[in-house]
A and B are shown apart, each in its own frame.
Chain A
Amino acid sequence: MRENTINHLRELEAESIYVIREVVAQFEKPVMLFSGGKDSIVMFHLSRKAFWPAKIPFPMLHIDTGHNFQETLDYRDNLMNESGTKLIVAYVQDSIDNGRVVEETGVNASRNVLQTVTLLDALEEMKIDVAMGGGRRDEEKARAKERFFSHRDEFGQWDPKNQRPELWNIFNGKKHMGEHFRVFPISNWTEMDVWQYIYMEDIPMPCIYFTHKRKVFNRDGVWLAWAPFMQLKENEEVIVEDVRCRTIGDITCTGLTLSKAITLEEIIQEVATTRITERGGRWDDKRSEAAMEDRKKEGYF
């Protein structure tokens, strides 16, 4: 490369750090959503870089569905301790117990949809005016038009018709009382960029991103992890396979990839040759074609 140029990852990094700093400068009570997924791990890393040598000046918020991979929780707790970052956990179980939401039943039951209520309640209770999330525009059609700074009304809803134009790198976070923002610092990253960046920066990852043996079953072409609370359909059978996670969410709807990848290089190779989108492996998006768009309007990320 020529002198005075930076590669695409460094440029994405610079943009994301700029956005994260902008959030802290423009808002009073920011949080960053942390799920333990690779996108939130990258966002965490970027936040660290943005404020170094100071600590990250906002807490992480984890919406805990109760259906976790234990490995993710261990990783999360380690990271927060080691970096001295404050962690807030909001439990979907609490929303169920206090009657804010009703648990889904049946074989496809998932708590992913319920998360929205837990999230919005948590934001309101803590008087949060901006929540940063790891959404990327390449993930899904409904996200392609999303802004870096996404305006939400008092009910946390996203109105696609009422979003502000974003020009250059001037972000307008002005708002009325009670309104808030969702901000997506890694909007312009693709899955490939995320993995390459993890590789370039040598960021430690939870072990379940790499190949491991796990009890799994196949539902309509998607490999899902077996857990005691999962209901199987008649024709489904639990077997042990070499798998890794491509993205991590609630265990009930996180699709796994059959894989033998043990290094980041191998994962990058796999991503480069994979012919299925990341969300194609997410059961919750498959449930309805317009699933994502609907959930966004309700206030999910």
Chain B
Amino acid sequence: MSISNAGYLNMELLRFTTAGSVDDGKSTLIGRLLYDSKAIFEDQMEAIERASERTGDEEVNLALLTDGLRAEREQGITIDVAYRYFATPKRKFIIADTPGHIQYTRNMVTGASTANVAVILVDARNGVIEQTVRHAYIASLLQIPHIIVCVNKMDLVHFSEEVFENIQRQFKKYSAKLEVKDVRFVPISAKYGDNVVKRSENTGWYDGPTLMYLLENIHISSDLNHTHQRLPVQYVIRPQSDKLPDYRGYAGRIASGVFRPGDRVKVLPSGITTSIRSIDTYKAELDIAFAPQSVTVQLNDDLDISRGDMIVGEHKAPEMGREIDMMICWLSEKPMINRGKYAFRHTTNDMKCVIADVKYKVDINTLDKNYEDKNIGLNEIGRIIVKTTRPLFYDSYRINRITGSVILVDEATNNTVGAGMII
């Protein structure tokens, strides 16, 4: 194996989302990252060169790489999360590119749900604006572990240190009210490339890392929860073949925690305890498994286990109950119906629920809580109590993004209408 190939096999995966208001330079920044990391191919480059000529741009307009979205925006149709990919020798990146306009809270929430890092753009000339606050709030609500604030268009403010410092101060004033653990600031020019991939000579006063350096080096492996053992059972594998007449494997993706053969575990909802006989993957048994691996587990006792059950550690068991307190982001044009019934999906568990109470609605621009207006419509966020038809075993979203998250589904249309984060 050549050295470079060995390198490819040692990369980490980092998912990030980008947020910014219209014209903050998000498309240009993404184009820049793709371009400077050589993720842009000749035929794509030719296409944007042609398009740039057509629109009379002098330089190649990198924003055209994410053209699909722009065209949609002009036509005013639903804008969606677009996923883009690039890699450096250190990491493979998945960008969830979400448009920044106010009605797209839904998309931002979607993109944020799986992200390790949020890149928030601020136009250096405008500073922290309402949208910035909203982006930061969503990042914190969805518990994205790391936020990188890119102060863009520094070239238009003469690469002023003062401007950068001011924006940093403004942002911190708001983020103090939020649950964000790790915030970094980088002064950039997406258009000219300053501090995106290459260090800028125009910002001598800045001795921090470039955006790319942060993306490549932010420590993400400890973001996973390795303490609470949680394996939601997804599917029961029973070959029922002559060779394996009695094999029963519980297949699923580990939500959190570390599992080893011999571990004492509890099966929910029955509460029966047993131990792990083996952790099987294709043609090999593992002596250790952890999130986010997909595995198949055999247990030492014959139990009646099916999809929707959860195998958990004997200690540090999840909470159990039918009254669930959660934040909800509404995703549908049809507003949430107070006392309404919805299908409810949590890990691999399907049930029904009724909206029992709306505690408050959040004004996502000021972060104020509104206890009067309890109508939650598209793109709005509130705190609600739901009652489920069966007991749910769950964790707080704060400690577990998998066992703490829920979707609500409209039973008439089958559409996903709500995204819930359990308090």
CB distance from B207 to the nearest CB of A (A): 27
A14 and B244 contact, Cβ closer than 8 Å, known pairs A169-B253, A193-B92: no
How distant is the Cα of A182 from the Cα of B414 in the complex, in angstroms?
16
Of the listed stretches A34-42, A49-57, A63-71, A104-112, name the one at the interface; the rest are far from the partner chain. A49-57
Chain A residues with Cβ below 8 Å from B42 are 275-276, 280
Chain B residues with Cβ below 8 Å from A272 are 4
CB distance from B181 to the nearest CB of A (A): 20
CB distance from B119 to the nearest CB of A (A): 17
Chain B residues with Cβ below 8 Å from A7 are 9-13
Q: Is B405's CB under 8 angstroms from A170's CB?
A: yes
Question: A78 contacts the other chain (Cβ, under 8 Å)?
Answer: no
Question: B191 contacts the other chain (Cβ, under 8 Å)?
Answer: no
From A25, A51, A164, A190, contact of B307 by CB (8 A): A25
Q: Is A192's CB under 8 angstroms from B239's CB?
A: no
Please provide the chain B residues from 37 to 83 with a CB less than 8 Å away from any CB of chain A in the complex: 41-44, 67-68, 77-78, 80-83
A8 and B226 contact, Cβ closer than 8 Å, known pairs A14-B293, A49-B281, A170-B407: no
Question: B213 contacts the other chain (Cβ, under 8 Å)?
Answer: no
Question: B206 contacts the other chain (Cβ, under 8 Å)?
Answer: no
Please provide the chain A residues from 105 to 157 with a CB less than 8 Å away from any CB of chain B in the complex: 137-138, 141-142, 144-145
Q: Is B415's CB under 8 angstroms from A164's CB?
A: yes
Question: A297 contacts the other chain (Cβ, under 8 Å)?
Answer: no
Please provide the chain A residues from 167 to 193 with a CB less than 8 Å away from any CB of chain B in the complex: 167-170, 172, 174-176, 187-188, 190, 192-193
From A11, A21, A161, contact of B292 by CB (8 A): A11
User: B354-366 interface mask toward A, CB cutoff 8 Å, 1 = contact, 0 = none?
Assistant: 0000000000000
How distant is the Cα of A37 from the Cα of B9 in the complex, in angstroms?
22
Question: B237 contacts the other chain (Cβ, under 8 Å)?
Answer: yes
A48 and B282 contact, Cβ closer than 8 Å, known pairs A164-B416, A168-B114: yes
Question: B214 contacts the other chain (Cβ, under 8 Å)?
Answer: no
The count of A-to-B residue pairs whose CB atoms sit within 8 angstroms is 186
A172 and B253 contact, Cβ closer than 8 Å, known pairs A53-B280, A144-B68, A196-B9: no
A142 and B106 contact, Cβ closer than 8 Å, known pairs A11-B292, A176-B414, A277-B43: no
Question: B316 contacts the other chain (Cβ, under 8 Å)?
Answer: no
Question: A43 contacts the other chain (Cβ, under 8 Å)?
Answer: no
Chain B residues with Cβ below 8 Å from A277 are 41, 43-44
CB distance from A246 to the nearest CB of B (A): 12
Q: Is A166's CB under 8 angstroms from B43's CB?
A: no
A2 and B416 contact, Cβ closer than 8 Å, known pairs A21-B251, A25-B235: no
Question: A103 contacts the other chain (Cβ, under 8 Å)?
Answer: no
Q: Is A6's CB under 8 angstroms from B293's CB?
A: yes
Question: A288 contacts the other chain (Cβ, under 8 Å)?
Answer: no
CB distance from B319 to the nearest CB of A (A): 19
B interface: dominant SS: mixed
Interface residues on chain A, number (Cβ under 8 Å)? 65
Question: A99 contacts the other chain (Cβ, under 8 Å)?
Answer: no
User: B78-119 interface mask toward A, CB cutoff 8 Å, 1 = contact, 0 = none?
Assistant: 101111110100011010010000000011011001100000
Q: Is A280's CB under 8 angstroms from B43's CB?
A: yes
Chain A residues with Cβ below 8 Å from B106 are 165
Q: Is A174's CB under 8 angstroms from B8's CB?
A: no
Chain A residues with Cβ below 8 Å from B97 are 144
Chain A residues with Cβ below 8 Å from B81 are 145, 165
User: A263-298 interface mask toward B, CB cutoff 8 Å, 1 = contact, 0 = none?
Assistant: 001001100101111001000000000000000000
Chain B residues with Cβ below 8 Å from A163 are 80
Question: B173 contacts the other chain (Cβ, under 8 Å)?
Answer: no
A54 and B235 contact, Cβ closer than 8 Å, known pairs A170-B405, A174-B414: no
Residue of A nearest to B407 (CB): A170
Residue of A nearest to B93 (CB): A8
Question: A261 contacts the other chain (Cβ, under 8 Å)?
Answer: no
How distant is the Cα of A13 from the Cα of B280 in the complex, in angstroms?
15
List residues of chain B with CB under 8 Å of any chain A CB.
1-2, 4-5, 8-13, 41-44, 67-68, 77-78, 80-85, 87, 91-92, 94, 97, 106-107, 109-110, 113-114, 221, 224, 226, 234-235, 237-241, 244, 247, 249, 251-253, 258, 280-283, 288, 290, 292-294, 296, 307, 331, 343, 345-348, 401-402, 405-407, 409, 414-416, 419
List residues of chain A with CB under 8 Å of any chain B CB.
1-2, 4-15, 17-18, 21-22, 24-25, 48-55, 137-138, 141-142, 144-145, 160-161, 163-170, 172, 174-176, 187-188, 190, 192-193, 196, 199-200, 265, 268-269, 272, 274-277, 280
12 A-B pairs with C-beta separation under 8 A? A8-B12, A17-B253, A54-B239, A54-B241, A137-B84, A141-B68, A160-B80, A166-B110, A169-B253, A170-B345, A172-B407, A188-B94
Given A137-B83, A190-B85, A274-B41, 9 additional A-B pairs, CB 8 A: A11-B292, A24-B235, A165-B106, A167-B110, A167-B114, A172-B345, A190-B87, A193-B92, A277-B41
**The 9 nearest A-B residue pairs measured at CB:** A280-B43, A54-B239, A8-B13, A174-B414, A49-B282, A275-B42, A17-B294, A8-B92, A144-B82
